[in-house]
Amino acid sequence: MLNILVVEDNHSILELIELNLARRGYNCDTASDGQQAANLIETNHYDLILLDIMLPEIDGYELLAYIEPLHIPVIFITAKGSLRDRVRGLHLGADDYIVKPFEMEELVARVEAVLRRAGKGNTLLTLEDVEIDLIARTVKKQGKMINLTMKEFDLLVTLAQNKNIVLYRPYLFEKIWGEDWEDDTRTIDLHVQRLRKKMDWSDKIKTIYRLGYKLEVES
Amino acid sequence: MKFSTKLTLSITTLIFLLFSLGGHLMIQQSFDYAREEAQRQFAKEHISQRLLLENHLFGKQLDDQKLTAQDVVQAAKSTNHFRGLALYDQQLIPLYSSLVMEDPDVLKKLIKNERAIGNQIDTAYHDKYLMTTFTDYKVVDLDGKQTMFIYTRLTALHEPLYMVNTYDVSYVYEERKRQYIHFLYIDALILILAAISVLLLSRLMTSPLKKLTKVSEEIANGAYDRRIRLDTPDEIGLVAQSFDKMADAVESKIHELERMVQARDDFVSNFSHELKTPMTTMMGYADLLRSRENERELQIKAADYIYKETKRLSELGLKLMDLMSLSEEYIQKECVPVTKMIGDAGEHVEFAHVFVDRILIQSVLHNLKQNAEQAEASEIHVSGKISNQGYIVTVWDNGKGIPEHEIERIKEPFYQIDPSRTSGRRGSGLGLALCEKILKAHGAELEISSQVGKGTSVSFKLECCE
């Protein structure tokens, strides 16, 4: 399991990030000021650090200079979206930055991208006898390749990443088709049916009446 | 053209012209004098020769009563030893001539001249000496040699005779020429010296102007702190001083503008920061709620976060609107007893009426008390005192106090001393800015004194009324 340190002085955001990363299977530690973060970095090993710039005690820039020699990838979280701030962060050795307000999806995507670049990312999702390669975008069931369309693959990944959780239809539609939900259940239902068939998962992908779908697997 | 060049050219030209004129006048005068001198001397000689000639002729006349042209020539020959001499009869036919060169035109002119002036000759003088002393002269350039023709009329025969002597006066002219050439050298020298000295002088005098130009260019390029600093008491010094004054004014204005821009930028940047943080929270939790089924505990928590942040944002929006719109025109002042705002009169609160907008001042007090609470004060007192300038309200607390270097900044919008946002209680950061603005509309100001660890006291002054 990969360890991520989240340094953010806003409690609600901190909690939110922790929640989202934990759901993706990361082990999260949190710090709400620079001093606390520095102490944690000293005692624990981290694969990635999410760092807010405006922090009490020791600010993000200072902390970055402290992290640099440890070669831990860093993503800046900042409310200052100005070019100067971003460039300064990147110059100091941040691997990426994310500007408030941001969506958790984006944050998670960036975390995964940075981890992959560092050679630490999860590129393989395994669910019982199914293996999903996120980079090659291939699916194998019992070692046998299964042909999926783009949308079907995205649907599978989303369900797999949120296994055993009910996902609502509008969310799924928005995430996979990238369009606003317009009360059109047919498209998504059709894709789910095809996916069930191809994966032979008619019992595993559950329809939750009026709400959405859930992938039920052993965790 | 550069000013110093202009100055040099014009002054040098002027000096040259004046000097040349002066030199010319001097030379001319000395030449005139020399020529007059020569004329006087030669006139004397002429007359003495004439006397000699006349004597001779008189002698002949006494001897044989009759003078012939031959006699005249004889006499002329015997008396003329050194100078050119010529005698002419009335028809201007030369009787005798030893002139190197004849010039009958000169004679004609001289005669004409005599006739013109002749009438003015003193007849008494003429009678007394039985002769005319009228002599006239003319200088003629003969083959490059200035020759002076001196002429008189004598009556030796029964008819008038014209006697002409010529003298070489070219040395006078030579001298003038020599002086001119000599003067030309001096003039050239003066020209060069004048040009150099005026150039140096004008450079010296225009150097402050050069500095002025340089400094004003630097200022134009953004170096607003540059000054000329010239302390000469002349006009250029005055210009420099007023230029410096102008630059001072410009600099302070620029700084003021920069401060204003900085304040505005800070405001916008702080404001956007204030917006972005709750936005992230709200968006994140809302997304959580809408995308999947969550545990009830998390649902409640997410809804709570969203509710609180929304509320805070809406408060922020309202305060911001107050802050923006508040000005003297919108406040409604009336005479209110202080007890309506501060609380009962007593040991700490002296009774008086103050001229204020009650709701706004109450909001100031509310904000100040809230700040005191946030400073973890266990005791908060509000006191009121009548002073000779008005009514002074003080809010005192025993909270953690404000570090000295922060006092300056706490009135700035969005500025918060402890940006630790981990504590749930967090203001908008606009409270003191709003108080300051309300009090400003009342013609008052917040006075803050604080000691870290001991507490803070904030006071302001209100206008008393009957």
How far apart CA A12 and CA B274 sit, in angstroms, is 14
What's the mean pLDDT when you consider all of chain A? 87
Of B196, B429, B172, give the one whose Cα is nearest residue B312.
B429
Query: B84 pairs with which residues across the strands?
Result: B166
What's the mean pLDDT when you consider all of chain B? 81
How far apart CA B245 and CA B251 sit, in angstroms, is 10
pLDDT band, residue B101 (cuts 50/70/90): low
What per-residue confidence (pLDDT) applies to B196?
92
Residue-wise pLDDT tens digits, B223-248: 888 888 888 788 888 888 888 899 89
What does DSSP assign to residue B329? G
- Say if CB B288 and CB B294 are below 8 A apart: yes
Distance of CA B44 to the CA centre of its chain: 68
Residue of B157 and A126 predicted with greater confidence: A126
Backbone angles phi, psi at A164, to 5 degrees: 65, 20
Residue of B275 and A14 predicted with greater confidence: A14
| Yes or no, beta carbons of A13 and B420 under 8 Å apart | no
How far apart CA B341 and CA B384 sit, in angstroms, is 11
| Yes or no, beta carbons of A16 and B279 under 8 Å apart | no
What per-residue confidence (pLDDT) applies to B222?
84
Percent of chain B with pLDDT over 90: 14
- Say if CB A45 and CB A3 are below 8 A apart: yes
Q: Residues 48..107 of A with a Cβ closer than 8 Å to B: which?
A: 54, 56, 79-80, 99-105
Neighbours of B235 (CB within 10 A): 8
Give the nearest partner residue to B281 out of A13, A170, A171, using CB atoms: A13
Chain A contact for B272 (CB, 8 A cutoff): yes
- Say if CB B236 and CB B208 are below 8 A apart: yes
Q: Residues 274..293 of B with a Cβ closer than 8 Å to A: which?
A: 276-277, 279-281, 283-285, 287-288, 290-293
* Bridge pairing between strands B94-97 and B84-88: antiparallel
pLDDT band, residue A16 (cuts 50/70/90): very high
What per-residue confidence (pLDDT) applies to B126?
47
What per-residue confidence (pLDDT) applies to B91?
74
User: According to DSSP H, which parts of B221-336 are helical?
Assistant: 235-291, 296-325
pTM: 0.56
How far apart CA B186 and CA B23 sit, in angstroms, is 10
Residue of B nearest to A14 (CA): B281
pLDDT at A205 over 50: yes
How far apart CA B32 and CA B26 sit, in angstroms, is 10
In order, the DSSP letters of A23-74 are HTT-EEEEESSHHHHHHHHHHS--SEEEEESS-SSS-HHHHHHHHGGGT--E
Most confident of A62-66, B106-110, B297-301: B297-301
pLDDT band, residue B180 (cuts 50/70/90): very high
Residue of A nearest to B301 (CA): A12
- Say if CB A29 and CB A4 are below 8 A apart: yes
State whether ipTM is beyond 0.90. no
| Yes or no, beta carbons of A100 and B276 under 8 Å apart | yes
Vertex B460 angle, CA B459 and B461, to 5°: 135
How far apart CA A31 and CA A27 sit, in angstroms, is 14
Report the 3 state secondary structure along A113-157.
HHHHHCCCCCCEEEECCEEEECCCCEEEECCEEECCCHHHHHHHH
Percent of chain B with pLDDT over 70: 86
Neighbours of A214 (CB within 10 A): 20
pLDDT band, residue B100 (cuts 50/70/90): low
Residue of B199 and B343 predicted with greater confidence: B199
How many Cα atoms are found within 13 Å in the side-chain-facing hemisphere of B237?
5
Vertex A121 angle, CA A119 and A124, to 5°: 120
What per-residue confidence (pLDDT) applies to A3?
92
- Say if CB A131 and CB A156 are below 8 A apart: no
By mean pLDDT, which of A168-182, B7-21, B239-253 is the weakest?
A168-182
By mean pLDDT, which of B51-55, B202-206, B304-308, B443-447 is the weakest?
B51-55
Residue of B158 and B380 predicted with greater confidence: B380
pLDDT at B133 over 70: no
Residue-wise pLDDT tens digits, B72-96: 777 777 776 666 788 877 777 777 8
pLDDT at B451 over 70: yes
For range A5-31, the mean pLDDT? 90
